Structure 1
Amino acid sequence: MSNSLRKLLVLMCLITILSACSDKNESDNQEQNNMNTEESNVDNVNKDFSGNFQYELPTTIEEIIKYPVGPFGSKDVSIEDEELQKVLSEIPPLREDASEEELNELFAYLYSLFKLEYQDPRSMISSYAVNEKDSPETPNTKEQKRSFNVEIILDSSGSMGNYMGGKTRMELAKESIQQFASSLPEEANVSLRVYGHKGTGKESDKVMSCASSELIYPLQPYNKETMVQALNSFQPAGWTPLAASLIKAQEDLAPFKGENNRNIVYVVSDGIETCGGDPIAAANSLKESGVAPIVHVIGFDLNEKDQKQLQEIAKAAGGTYTNVKNQNQLQNEFNKTVQDSFEWLTWKVQETDMVITHKVNQTDEIYSVFSDWYDKNVYEKLIINSALVNLRANNIITENQKLELMKLKNNFFDNQQKKADELKKELLDTTMEEYQDKKNQIEEIYKKIFQINVYKTI
């Protein structure tokens, strides 16, 4: 073989080898490129997953309220909804070894799809403004403990046993006193002094009877049982020591100086002084004393002649005189004392009712808002549960991943429920605190007004 032929064969072999090597390299490069492309696709999926599903879950009540309503945030949406099915089908399958972060991101994405609109429970809280009913200013005096004291001086001489209609004067007077005392504001004190209730109208009993002036119900708040016992402890009997009883009344009220207390005296009598005393002088002494009471003298069915002395007593005491002919008139005279107090008592009752109504309405609204909150919470939980079942059925997540995601779901909504329960308790407590504060405010206003009004001249 010539050298030229040998060189040609070698060259052809080299070309063949180089060509084969080149094909192999191309094949290897293509395979590598294919592998790189596959890896790149996985990376892209992961990047898409991280990018598209990067949603922050709300962790507070405020964040839940502000969190945007999801595109499927309606209770009318079913898991079978075509548009929803399309959205779920576009979720890339998770790798079997998907990280906890990826699971959290997928759950957050699902939550963002179904998030409902929530009302802020705090919007239910409002404050009730007490109507102070044109409250007068507190007097410019030192704060002192004041009291409202009413003393009734009742004639129990024998003539009170006379009948008026179907009852004795004494029976009618006792009924009126009982009704009057029970109607006084609870802040008031009342006392009952009777005179002439011992002995008889005979001359032989005059000394004993004229010395009979007794405080049978000492000054204190009204107590029905005690007052009834006191009223039942005497009957019409003897003479009329009116002057001595006025002097005793001054002693009864002496601890309650007029500058700091409101003192009112009622004298109910069906006759004039019969024990030799000077009731006009006693009445004047009562007026000039530091007790400074308002005195009301009530003549009980007196004739014109006998009225004169009682009118003079009222004048000397700086008070009023009225002659009554029946029980209704007697009751009306008593009721004048508490008329203004009743007006404020009515205000107190009405304002208290308004505060109670406000508390009840606000409490009902709080329960209603949280009931709606819980219903929506349950719906979100159920629809996300259905979505997870759907993702598992379409092999987008594994069975283990579905279980892990369900744990995430349960923990998330349990935490929401806990925070909602805490806020609910806080709002209910706030409502009750406001209710107590407003009740106290009403009570303070009532006491202030009561103290001021009962010191006005009737």
Structure 2
Amino acid sequence: MKLNRTRFSLLSALLMSVLSLASCTSQSSQQAASEVPVMPSTSETSTISEDGVEAYFQQLLSQYGQDCTECLQPLELQVRGTPNPQGSSQTQTDLNVLIALDSSGSMAESITGGTKIDVAKSAIARFVSQLPETTQIGLLVYGHKGSNQAADKAVSCAGIESVYALDSLDQAQFDAAVQSFQPTGYTPIAKALEQAGQLLPVNEERQNIVYVVSDGIETCGGNPVVAAQKLHTQADVIINVIGFDVNNEAQQQLEAVARAGGGKYLSAHSASELDRIFNQAQSQVEQTLYRAQNSIDRTYAQSKTDIATTQVSSCVSIKLTQESARINSALAQLHPEDSNYSYVEAVREKLETRHAAIREWSNRVQQSYRDQRDVTLEQLRQDLETVNQRYGQPTN
């Protein structure tokens, strides 16, 4: 929701009341002068007509006065709302989701619900169909070349293929890509992560997420933990790992990969469990979207407020400098025989008082912007906490 309209209306009302003392218009200045304590009189000013001083001051303001209300601007800060458990949200950050699927020989083994590879293919196809429409989706497969025999190891470890290039989802084409390979060979997880880094663009407006689905450890001599850490730290990619019917050794390695990749490790041993895992992944996608947008909104609120306060301060300062220079120039051109000559010092005192009041008003305007920023940041903080509690991750 937008927070600025009501506050800006209140700010405008405040401005009108303040300008009864310190407006840059001639009418407001007249009232400001009437409320300023009378300055101590001297031998030169004791006989000066206050009405004459005020009339001349208003004449100068009508000619040279600056309208500081032009420095005001609405401050528009937004809180977009949190995602709900059904997956809808108001976030605008988009995602790149790349799935790296293990198609090594062991994925041909049977579990409850079918072979591992068939169960994984079906779950993945359902998962991508539920992602937000703006999500770019890719499918990377490894272990599907050669065989799991020693003679074919080199071929199999090099056999990493993007079967669905990162793009918006075409369900028919994606389903066809999923069915285009079968499990045969080794498990080059590290090289698959390296290739994932080459496929994912570095784009500040899109969050990159990789889901590794594997039933075993790295078998091609690579270091998937190092590869995951490099991809996460250098390209800001979140790497989540789904261990599918893995043993203890494989689980320990895959958990380490997920930690190094800044993501989560999830474990499944059957078709129903894998579906549950991907449902959790769907919720995680929504959380990731919101967390990214929340961060953008926090940065925007801070920078927008900084810009607004700086612009008001600079604008008012420039206008007061111009007004002072022009009025003092006019005063400097008066001669002793001029009828307004005796008003010079009194007019300068009025101008100083007027400018002090306008600066005070400017400070209040800037503080109102900062107050609005603080309210927005607190709302964003609370929303982020709500999302993290809902999906089980701590607030950063």
Q: TM-score, normalised by structure 1?
A: 0.42
- Higher RCO (C-alpha 8 Å, min separation 6): 2
**Larger Rg computed on CA atoms:** 1
Q: TM-score, normalised by structure 2?
A: 0.49
